[in-house]
Amino acid sequence: MTMDRRTLLKLSAMGAIAGSAAASAAQAQTAPPAPVGKRKARWICLGTKGGPRVGTGRSNPANVLIVDDVPYVVDCGPGVSRRLVEAKVALPDVRYVFVTHLHSDHVLEYGNMVYGGWSAGLNHPVEAFAPIGMEALTRAYWESIKFDVDVRIADEGKPDPRKLLVARDIKDSGPVIDTGKVKVTAFKTPHPPITENFAYKFETPDGVFVYACDTSFNPALAKFAEGADVLIHETIYVPGVDKMVARVKNAATLKEHLIASHTTTEDVGKIAAMAKVKKLVMTHFVPGDDPTITDEMWAADAKKHYGGPIVVAKDLMEIEL
């Protein structure tokens, strides 16, 4: 029997539900995916490693929410284009982009992702939302690639991508956009030393997804995420950080910085419990490239506080509502 990679990842997603003693039995009962067009809103984790370093394992932060076949890309870390293609999302189909903050691991491939769509036939507007700085970053991106774009417009008869991509800076918490299918709300959450940083709530016809990545431990997020079907939240594994910083100078300072700006595996469980969400998805793993940290280790401390299902995300894993 052969299985494609998506099916395998779906099975592993079920296996990753912490505390599931009957994981293999559950795997055997996995129903085949519903035909395209009849599926509920789908959230696919594209890249699950925190930080900008590129490796051969987990890719850098990126996700896609697909509602009625319209892709909403959420964070654009290095590798987002390739992961979208691997998830069977055509780059020219991307219609909306949301970036949580301007740390490079969340935005470095934003311009190139839209460029990739343009080079493959993009001919509709793309709206991109992020904290203050996104509009300037977008202008700077087009300036950096001006030579190529100008040549191709004249040489290949393509539309001007600079007019198709509309970037908007978000200044405050509140409604961002309502597409008729998806209502998006932003919530400012601290990520020291960054203050211009948002969590997003996506209200779809099938359920509510809340994405908090990156953020320090912020109990106010529990109120924002209250009752959500899925909370996708970043996390940091403190013993793993000890090991990581032991290899570099100024280790104590680095550890303090990482813990101040991220949320420990234990605190993620507290947020999920306070918010009474139906499912917790842990992602943006720091450190995300230490193979000795197992799924059970990522979930163990969160389970002390949260009794619902916990998914330890993997690249290309689809999150079921």
Given the rule CB under 5 A, which residues bind Zn ion?
50, 103, 105, 214
* 167: phi then psi, degrees, rounded to nearest 5: -95, 140
Closer to Zn ion by CB, 229 or 315: give it: 315
Which of 42, 284 has the CB closer to Zn ion?
284
Q: In the structure, how many helices (H) and strands (E) does the chain have?
A: 13, 14
Pick 19 or 55: Cβ nearer Zn ion: 55
Please, which residue, 50 or 111, has the CB nearer to Zn ion? 50
CB 242 → Zn ion: shortest distance, Å? 20
Tokens found for residue 207: 């359920």
- Cβ 213 to Zn ion shortest distance, Å: 7
CA distances from 265 to 46, 131, 233, 239 (A): 21, 26, 10, 10
CB of 55 to Zn ion, least distance (A): 15
Nearest to Zn ion of 108, 222 (CB atom) = 108
The answer to whether 234 and 197 have CB atoms below 8 angstroms apart is no
CB of 283 to Zn ion, least distance (A): 10
Going by C-alpha positions, the residue among 219, 234, 294 that lies closest to residue 264 is 234
Query: Minimal CB distance to Zn ion: which residue?
Result: 103
Q: Which is nearer to Zn ion, 116 or 288 (CB)?
A: 288
Nearest distance, CB of residue 263 and Zn ion, angstroms = 12
Least separation in angstroms between CB 58 and Zn ion = 12
Contact of 173 with 191, CB cutoff 8 Å: no
Report angle CA 236, 299, 232 to the nearest 5 degrees. 65
The secondary structure of 192-246, three-state, reads CCECCCEEEEEEECCEEEEEECCCCCCCHHHHHCCCCCEEEEEEECHHHHHHHHC
